[in-house]
Structure 1
Amino acid sequence: MSVDEGARVSGDLVDGADDSLEDTNPRIRTILFSEMLIFAILSLLASWVLSYDAIVLARDPEAQLSCSINAVLDCAKVGLTWQANIFGFPNAYLGMVSEPVVMTIAVASLAGVRFPRWFMFVGNVCYLLGVIFAYWLLYQSTFVIGALCPWCLLVTVSTTFVFMSMTQWNIRENNLFLPEGAQRKALGLVRGGWLTIALIAWVTAVAVLEVVKWGHRFV
């Protein structure tokens, strides 16, 4: 589904595009991909800092990091655990690789490029796995490690917003290969603003959970 003449031209150049879809409002395109770009940049920044801190801790496990604020907000404590290197290298390296891809998609889409359905579908699935991994790490930090990493929290929040923006766009563009009935219902939820409401409720619930868990120890 192209959004304007520029998108139609770009879409014709992208193999696998489905021109049978009706147009998406250009304003919605701008909002969703701008949101993706902003939060991908924030996540990349956090990943860069975490990657640097991982090197610092590898050299000196007793190093004091700037984000080690108190007993609860302690990047060093989190960074020295096995959960911080689940694949044998710092988790932040994954963000260093994935976020530039998201930024490229966002910038190209803002310029009117329309990617093939399969490409956007794969991107959505991969980012879903990223969200699941981010919240698994948050669970580990909260209930197992006993400390939170501020930069990790930024990655988690940013990943959530990018995923929801990408999902909303893909539902509007029918990129998720849903059955006709499921696509119609999903589109109704998106147009009704229910995914946005769900996002706000989810982030609020997570914030409340952390405040209740740690209480005055945040100070």
Structure 2
Amino acid sequence: MTTQAAPRPGSMGTRAAASRSRADHRGTWLAMLLWSVASLVASFVLAVEAVTLAGDPDAVFGCDVNAVISCGTVGSSWQASVLGFPNAFLGLVTEPVVITVAVAGLAGIRFPRWFMLTAQAVYTVGLALAYWLLHQALFEIGAVCPWCLLITVATTFVFFEMTRVNLLDGHLPLPSGVRRVLVDAARSHLDLMAVGGWLLAVALLVVSRYGTALFG
């Protein structure tokens, strides 16, 4: 006769917690994957345009709709190569990494805390760069690029999805009371509402900045 070993104390709770964590993250990883793919596509298009502009500064693109919506105007500015090379190349390098992380997350792989906090820090820098470029487009360049706006939106969603994972997994160094409130908000999907409200505010800013010129 064989007997089954009794489960170690706490082992069932640990497995239940891990199962709940995977369930919490499944939609998050999927959203991160889709938005990072969208950002990669936009980065590829902008990289091609940057190479084209390098050979022909007067090149016209399909997204050159008018004086305000103009990829060529934005792509010709110094802000489009703030690090000395086209910004789009950054997306070509970083987004495949995010895609890989998202796919691994969907497969159930759990990354160590140091890795996720590093990813959070790097993507925070990317988010800051995206919004700095948006500010430059609105108030310095005087034109917006649809592909750049897609990258800004995608970067915003990926940042918040990554933050959600780190919050629910307890990686973020937060006071316990603050963490409980934020976790409850995340599980109630209030974070998604916050992102939607933020992007709506950004859209209203763009419209208020240019008004009818967007459609002229």
TM-score, normalised to structure 2, is 0.88
For structure 2, the residue ranges without an aligned partner over 5 or more in a row are 1-13
SS of structure 2 residue aligned to 1:176:
coil
SS of structure 2 residue aligned to 1:42:
helix
Deviation (angstroms), 1:25? 4.7
**Number of positions where the alignment pairs a residue of Structure 1 with one of Structure 2:** 201
Counterpart residue type for residue 128 of structure 1 = T
Mapped to 2, the partners of 1:119 and 1:170 lie a distance apart of 10
Match of 2:45 in 1: 49
Which of 22, 26, 47 aligns to 2:17? It is 22
For structure 1, the residue ranges without an aligned partner over 5 or more in a row are 1-18
Match of 2:62 in 1: 66
Which of 37, 40, 47 aligns to 2:36? It is 40
Which string of whole-angstrom CA distances, capped at 9 and with x for unpartnered residues, describes residues 62-112 of structure 1? Answer: 111121111111011111111100000000111111100000000001011
Match of 2:172 in 1: 176
Which of 140, 147, 161 aligns to 1:144? It is 140
Moved more, 106-115 or 194-203: 194-203
Mapped to 2, the partners of 1:187 and 1:121 lie a distance apart of 17
Mapped to 1, the partners of 2:15 and 2:197 lie a distance apart of 35
Counterpart residue type for residue 130 of structure 2 = A
TM-score, normalised to structure 1, is 0.87
State the structure with more CA Rg: 2
Return structure 1 stretches of 4+ with deviation > 4 angstroms.
none
* 1:70-85 correspondence runs (5 A): 70-85=66-81
* 1:1-219 correspondence runs (5 A): 22-23=17-18, 24-219=20-215
SS of structure 2 residue aligned to 1:154:
helix
Counterpart residue type for residue 110 of structure 1 = L
Mapped to 2, the partners of 1:191 and 1:100 lie a distance apart of 28
Does the C-alpha gap of structure 1 residues 21 and 139 become closer, same or farther in structure 2, counting only changes over 3 Å?
A: farther
